[in-house]
Structure 1
Amino acid sequence: MFFLWIEAFHVTFMVAWLAGLLCLPWLFAAHADARGQTDRARFGALERQLSMLMSVAALGTIVFGIWMLAMLGGGWLATNGWFHAKLVLVVLLIGYHGWCQMQARKLREERATGTPAFYRLMGAVPAIILLLIMLLVFVKPF
């Protein structure tokens, strides 16, 4: 029963993290398209707030995920190949999270070179990774 509580917190933090990862590139696109200094400052503040919330959610996802893995034990990990693929995708999400943090900083400092179309396209990255993770978790193909 305790495991289910840990799993529930893991999934809740994951939903919050992914929501941020899905929304932030759209804020980047609007920021890159903003013309006035007031608008750029407003988008920068929104990006900073969302980035902080995302980071807390990412940390919660990782902590509760490691906790679940510790409860399941090494034998479980050795016999579930799909989980290794999931971990690779989670590492990619962490990298994407870092990229988002760098883009937010560059946009605030007006050093970003991405176009609104580029940022909207980059918004598809976490959606694709999320789809792959969900398929691995629910289908467990290997």
Structure 2
Amino acid sequence: MFLLYIKAFHIISVIAWMAGVLYLPRLFVYHTLAETGSKQSETFKVMERRLLKAIITPAMIASWIFGLILAYYAVDWAQAGWFHLKLLLVVVLSGFTGSLARWTREFAEDRNTHSQRFYRIANEVPTLLMIVIVILAVVKPF
């Protein structure tokens, strides 16, 4: 029963993390269109900071905690090649989250150097990672 609750909280936290990492780059796309110093730009700064600090970061931390508990109790590490790749991709997703934090700081300091197109492409990264991670976790292909 304990592991079922851990799994449920892991899924909940991953959903919240993914919602944030899918939405924040979209905010960046719109923020690039706002004039520096404008009311709209300042509103985007608040939205971006709150999304990162109140949702994305806590959800990522919770995902790691619950995921590692599950891995400890439910994964045969010696026989789970799929898990090693999944873990690597989660590390990549965490690094991407770190990039989101850096870009949020750059916008907050009015130092953004990236284009709309850059953020539109960046917006696809978590989607692709999510697809592969979920397939690995569910199908366990190797």
* TM-score normalised by length of structure 2: 0.95
1:95 aligns with 2:95: yes
Partner of 2:68: 66
Question: For 2:57 and 2:29, how far apart are their aligned partners in 1?
Answer: 20
3-state SS in 2 of match to 1:77: coil
3-state SS in 2 of match to 1:117: helix
Show the 5 A alignment for 1:1-142: 1-35=1-35, 37-52=38-53, 53-72=55-74, 76-142=76-142
* 1:112-133 superposed Cα distances (whole Å, 9 cap, x missing partner): 1111121111000000000000
Question: For 1:80 and 1:70, how far apart are their aligned partners in 2?
Answer: 12
RMSD: 1.0
* TM-score normalised by length of structure 1: 0.95
Q: Which amino acid aligns with 1:90?
A: V
3-state SS in 1 of match to 2:110: coil
Q: CA 1:139–1:72 in 2, change beyond 3 Å: closer, same or farther?
A: closer
Q: Which amino acid aligns with 1:49?
A: R
Shift of 1:70: 2.0
Shift of 1:71: 1.9
Runs ≥4 residues deviating over 4 A? none
Shift of 1:40: 0.7
Gaps of 5+ in 1: none
Q: How many residues align?
A: 140
Percent same amino acid at aligned positions?
Answer: 39
Is the helix fraction higher in 1 or 2? 1
